[in-house]
């Protein structure tokens, strides 16, 4: 399901076009559902839960084995090592599969269990990858810039081409990020992207004013992944 309506797509794309009217810079906007599948983190939580169950099993061995007495017809049979190891293996495997399945069935829980640092790193990596594919060195003056929003991680990134980074320090984009996040916290995604585009455009216009022979080298339309 898309996060923005067709009308909101038009508004963001129009904001990009208006910003580029004043600069030779090229602004690319992307809204992504998520930056990664996090299968490694999901597997790690399932494995950790299984190890914890195995670690606690000795404390619960008596009650657990008593509960399994019906398997022997209710007789008080002394459990031998092979049987105990089988019970432990089954407990570990079931725990692993249950935790894995719960995370798959409840995406909100899966994302809640992902550490914030990992979300930030994956969003940064995805933004850089998309920038390399869609904007880096694709303009004559190396003046492409990406505004990237990853919805499930609640992360936003601004990635600029080398000509821009040579003149504009990264902290300059703080105002654009702040304006965007202020709108996003209110659930206004399109307004957040537009606010960021306007402020990025103002910075680009200051350092890279539009030349008479400038042409539009990258699409203005908002990309939703």
Q: What is the pLDDT of residues 130-155, one digit of tens each?
A: 887 766 555 566 777 888 999 888 88
**6-36+115-224: in CATH 3.20.20.70:** no
Indicate whether 220 pLDDT > 80.
Answer: no
Name the more confident of 204 and 60.
Answer: 204
Beta strands 223-224 and 144-150 are unpaired
CATH 3.10.310.50 spans which residues of the chain?
6-36+115-224
For residues 207 and 172, the answer to whether their CB atoms sit within 8 Å is no
Say yes or no to pLDDT of 218 above 70. no
pLDDT digits over 61-117, tens only?
556 556 555 555 555 555 555 555 666 777 778 888 998 898 888 888 888 888 889
Task: Report the chain's terminal Cα–Cα distance, integer Å.
Answer: 10
pLDDT of residue 153: 87
3-state helix, strand, coil in the chain (%, to 5): 60, 10, 30
Residues β-bridged to residue 29: 147
In three-state secondary structure terms, 134 is: helix
Rounded Cα–Cα distance for residues 10 and 188 (Å): 15
pLDDT confidence of residue 65: 56
Burial class of 172 by CB neighbour count within 10 A (0 to 12, 13 to 18, 19+): middle
Residues in the chain: 225
- CA dihedral in degrees (142, 147, 150, 154; nearest 10)? 130
From the list 176, 172, 174, 156, the residue with the least C-alpha distance to 164 is 172
Give the residue-averaged pLDDT of 27-48: 88
């Amino acid at each position: 399901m898309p996060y923005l309506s067709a009308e909101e797509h038009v508004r963001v794309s129009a904001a990009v076009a208006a910003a580029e009217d004043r600069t030779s810079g090229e602004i690319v906007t992307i809204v992504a559902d998520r930056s990664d599948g996090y299968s490694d983190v999901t597997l790690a939580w399932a494995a950790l839960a299984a190890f914890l169950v195995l670690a606690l099993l000795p404390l619960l061995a008596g009650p657990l084995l008593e509960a399994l007495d019906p398997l022997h017809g209710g007789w008080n049979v002394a459990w031998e090592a092979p049987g105990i190891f089988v019970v432990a293996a089954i407990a570990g495997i079931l725990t692993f599969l249950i935790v894995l399945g719960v995370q798959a069935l409840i995406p909100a829980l899966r994302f809640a269990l992902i550490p914030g640092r990992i979300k930030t790193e994956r969003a940064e990596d995805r933004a850089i990858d998309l920038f390399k594919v869609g904007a880096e060195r694709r303009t004559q003056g190396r003046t492409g810039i990406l505004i990237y929003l990853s919805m499930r991680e609640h992360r936003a990134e601004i990635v600029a081409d080398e000509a821009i980074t040579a003149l504009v320090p990264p902290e300059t984009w703080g105002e654009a990020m702040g304006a965007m996040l202020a709108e996003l916290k209110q659930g206004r995604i399109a307004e957040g992207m537009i606010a960021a585009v306007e402020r990025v455009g103002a910075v680009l216009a200051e350092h890279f004013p539009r030349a008479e022979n400038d042409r539009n080298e990258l699409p203005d339309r908002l990309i939703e992944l």
